[in-house]
Structures are given as structure tokens and as C-alpha cells.
Amino acid sequence: MPLSDHEQRMLDQIESALYAEDPKFASSVRGGNLRAPSARRRLQGAVLFLVGLGLLVAGVPFYANVNHAFLIVSVIGFVIMFGGVVFAITGPRVAGAREGNAPEQGSARQKRAKGNNSFSSRMEERFRRRFEE
């Protein structure tokens, strides 16, 4: 269901306010900066999943019969399985997506470029701006 014109304007205002308040956070949560995974990436993820599954299953009999230290093999297998699934379903990040999608924030960027870039100074500046408004 599409948004009405009023709802779309409100959403645009909220988005621009978010960019004005914290552009780094806004660009990090903005969607659309991941590409779809390629067939090769999915195949590599499936191979990683199968290798992890093999380690997981192989670690169980060694753990039960030979040595309890082989439990680590099963845990490593599970981690590899999980990594393979994540690798298969995510695509690589697009390099220039953040800069192209963000609205112009010239004044905030100029202030940041002029002053000290430390975390504490940015927090102090943000605190001052809130009480000035």
C-alpha cells in the first residue's frame, strides 16, 4: 500500500531531521547499500556450510569415544556453518552508496572539519545545540 502525499512528506522530514542530527548513524542504517549475492557467492557459502556440517558431525563421535577435546571440532564446525549461511545470503557492500544517498549537510560537515574530531568534542557540541534550540 503506497503512502499518501502527507505521509511521504512527513517521512522525508523525519529522514532529513535524522541526517541533520546524526549523519553517520543515518547513513549506516539506510537501506540499499547491499547488493544481492551472486551465484558464485551462494555456491561458496553452500560449500562452507557443508564443510562446517561435516566438522560438526565428525566431532560428535570423536567427542563420545576418543577424547573430550574434540568437542571444539564440533563448535568450530557450527561457527563455519553459520558463517557460510551469512556469506551466502549477504552480498558485498556498494562502495559509493553512502555518499550518494545522503542529503547535503554542508554546515555540519564544515563545523566538524574546522573543529576537533574527537568523540567528546562532538558530544559536547551536540549537547550545546540541544539547549540552544
pLDDT of 67 above 50: yes
- Number of domains the chain is built from: 1
- Degrees (nearest 5) of the Cα angle 58, 59, 65? 100
Residue numbers of the domain that contains 65: 5-132
Q: Which of 81, 116, 91, 85 is nearest to 33 (CA)?
A: 91
**Diameter of the chain measured on Cα atoms:** 70
Q: What is each CA distance from 35 to 12, 48, 69, 98, 119, in whole angstroms?
A: 24, 20, 40, 13, 31
Residues with Cβ within 8 Å of 109's Cβ and at least 6 positions away in sequence, in order, are: 23
User: What is the pLDDT confidence band of residue 70, given thresholds at 50, 70 and 90?
Assistant: confident
Q: What does the pLDDT average to over 34-52?
A: 87
The percent of residues in the chain predicted with pLDDT above 90, rounded, is 17
* DSSP 8-class letter at 65: I
Q: What are phi and psi of 93, to 5 degrees?
A: -75, 145
Over residues 88-116, the pLDDT tens digits come to 888 776 554 444 444 444 444 445 445 55
Q: What is the DSSP string of 68-123?
A: GGGHHHHHHHHHHHHHHHHHHH-PPBPTTHHHHHSPP-HHHHHHHHHS---HHHHH
pLDDT above 80 (res 48)? yes
Are the beta carbons of 27 and 105 closer than 8 angstroms?
no
Is the predicted pLDDT of residue 30 greater than 60, yes or no? Answer: yes
CA distance 31 to 34: 8
Residue 47 pLDDT: 94
Share of the chain above pLDDT 70, in %: 72
pTM: predicted TM-score of the whole model, two decimal places: 0.46
